[in-house]
Structure 1
Amino acid sequence: MELNLSRPICFFDLETTGTNIAQDRIVEIAILKVFPNGNKESKTWLVNPEMPIPKEATAIHGISDEKVAGEPPFRERAREVYQMIQGCDLAGFNSNRFDIPLLAEELLRAGLDFDMKNTVAVDVQTIFHKMEKRTLEAAYQFYCGKELRDAHSAAADTLATYEVLLSQLDRYPELENDVKALAAFSSHSESVDFAGFIQRDDSGDEIFSFGKHKGRKVLEVLEQEPGYFGWILNADFPLYTKKVLTQIRLARLNNRLS
């Protein structure tokens, strides 16, 4: 089984200092780029997070402060990473909820205007959980009949994720071999931002999914309580969430002017 692609797709995995999307940093990133003709290109980078790596994180992925002391920070890797994924769809294991949001934060922090408007994302973990309910190691054993060695190494996890998706397509004929269909199947909800703070209601309108305005339309809240916009921009929300909220607000202002 080969992926039916109309354009390249990048499988990627991050090892990080922790799980806080707005505050934690990348220490390793691996990308496996698969082209429509079946060719593959892969790269792995170690990254200096410019902050201490907690011992709990090192215990999981094996990357210590000493290991990345001589590596460049992400802002010096950002353009190369950005160019590799530009014009591609994305895929990963738990990528919709973690890897893509955190990568977006790092790219925006480096001054690169990362956007998912013309990109779809396939979350192999979601497909796996909807079908079998396991971890990546178990998924690799279950679907591929292999033991995942070097688990929590970004390169090993990335390649395993790619192989699991191919095996999922072989195993489940009801899964359509189409990246957009796989992205739709592996999505959790209709989120406008990656972190899920802004979602869409049944009418397709943006709504807040948290706090005192949970379930209310974003534009309605911004009109009735203008200070809420400023509060979000100054609070500890992901940069991509702030970018999306700003785009919604500017679109309304532009519509009024026109």
Structure 2
Amino acid sequence: MKLNLRNPLVFFDLETTGINITRDRIVEISFLKVHPNGKEEVRSRRINPEIPIPPQATAIHGITDDDVKDCPTFKQVARSLADQLEGCDLAGFNSSRFDVPMLAEEFLRAGVDFDMSKRKFVDVQIIFHKKEQRTLEAAYAFYCNKKLENAHSAEADTIATYEVLKSQLDRYPDLENDIEVLSKEYSSFNNNVDFAGRFVYDEKGVEVFNFGKHKGRPVSEVLKNEPSYYAWMMDGDFPLNTKQVLTKIRLREMNS
């Protein structure tokens, strides 16, 4: 089934040094851009993470330190990548929990203003789990009747994810071929304020803490009554996106 698109939709996958959003780095990014007219573009690029790639990560994606030693750093390609993704919605497999937060973190580290809030997100894994509860390899076999060769290669995973979404739309009549619907009903970050979910919106739409001793309390209230908590979080091991959101809330309250 051809996707019904208003904006270009970019399916992407990352290979990284690990799964810690704040400490690990991207070593490969691949994306498939699908245009509203049906045109498709596939691009892949390896990245020098500027930190060693652990053996356990190499065992999964096969990328070694030698493979990326002469590749550009993310900071060197960030502006070009942001330009290629401008005006696009994003899709992936497990992207809402990992790939999108990791990509946002890398853009922040590179000092490139890439506003994720302007985009819709479709997570094919969430649709799959709500319908079938399995992995990308199983999804590819189940929906496309194909074996996923070169699993954990960013490009192979990216293309497979695109094919799975099209097959999901063919299989489920109730699954609307509309990126906004797929984003909101199947792939949203629920009520997260930041990507990591350290802050969430309560039933009144107020940002509240979602962890620690202040869980459930309004962020603005805590910042007002306990200013040192802001400094503690800014100095702590929290994702840059979380710190950015916290700072926006603080500045908003200071200027209100």
- What is the TM-score of this pair, normalised by structure 1? 0.97
Aligned to 2:43: 43
Equivalent residue runs for 1:89-168 within 5 Å:
89-168=89-168
Is 2:203 the counterpart of 1:202?
yes
Aligned to 1:175: 175
Aligned to 1:53: 53
Tell me, yes or no, if the aligned pair for 1:208 and 1:214 is still in contact at 8 Å.
yes
Tell me, yes or no, if the aligned pair for 1:143 and 1:168 is still in contact at 8 Å.
yes
Q: Distance in 1 between matches of 2:248 and 2:113?
A: 13
Is 2:83 the counterpart of 1:83?
yes
What is the CA distance between 1:114 and its match in structure 2? 2.1
SS of the aligned residue for 2:91 comes to strand
SS of the aligned residue for 1:36 comes to coil
Q: Which amino acid aligns with 1:150?
A: N
What is the CA distance between 1:192 and its match in structure 2? 1.0
Aligned to 2:14: 14
Tell me, yes or no, if the aligned pair for 2:104 and 2:116 is still in contact at 8 Å.
no
Aligned to 2:255: 254
RMSD across aligned positions (CA):
0.9
Which structure 2 segments of 5+ residues have no match? none
Is 2:205 the counterpart of 1:222?
no
Equivalent residue runs for 1:180-199 within 5 Å:
180-184=180-184, 185-199=186-200
Is 2:30 the counterpart of 1:27?
no
Tell me, yes or no, if the aligned pair for 1:126 and 1:187 is still in contact at 8 Å.
no
Q: Which amino acid aligns with 1:254?
A: N
SS of the aligned residue for 2:255 comes to helix
Which structure 1 segments of 5+ residues have no match? none
Tell me, yes or no, if the aligned pair for 1:94 and 1:125 is still in contact at 8 Å.
yes
Give aligned-pair identity as a percent.
62
Q: Which amino acid aligns with 1:242?
A: K
Q: Distance in 1 between matches of 2:174 and 2:220?
A: 39
Q: Which amino acid aligns with 1:204?
A: G
What is the CA distance between 1:188 and its match in structure 2? 4.8
What is the CA distance between 1:101 and its match in structure 2? 0.4
What is the CA distance between 1:200 and its match in structure 2? 0.7
Name the count of aligned residue pairs. 255
Equivalent residue runs for 1:65-76 within 5 Å:
65-76=65-76
Q: Distance in 1 between matches of 2:239 and 2:142?
A: 35
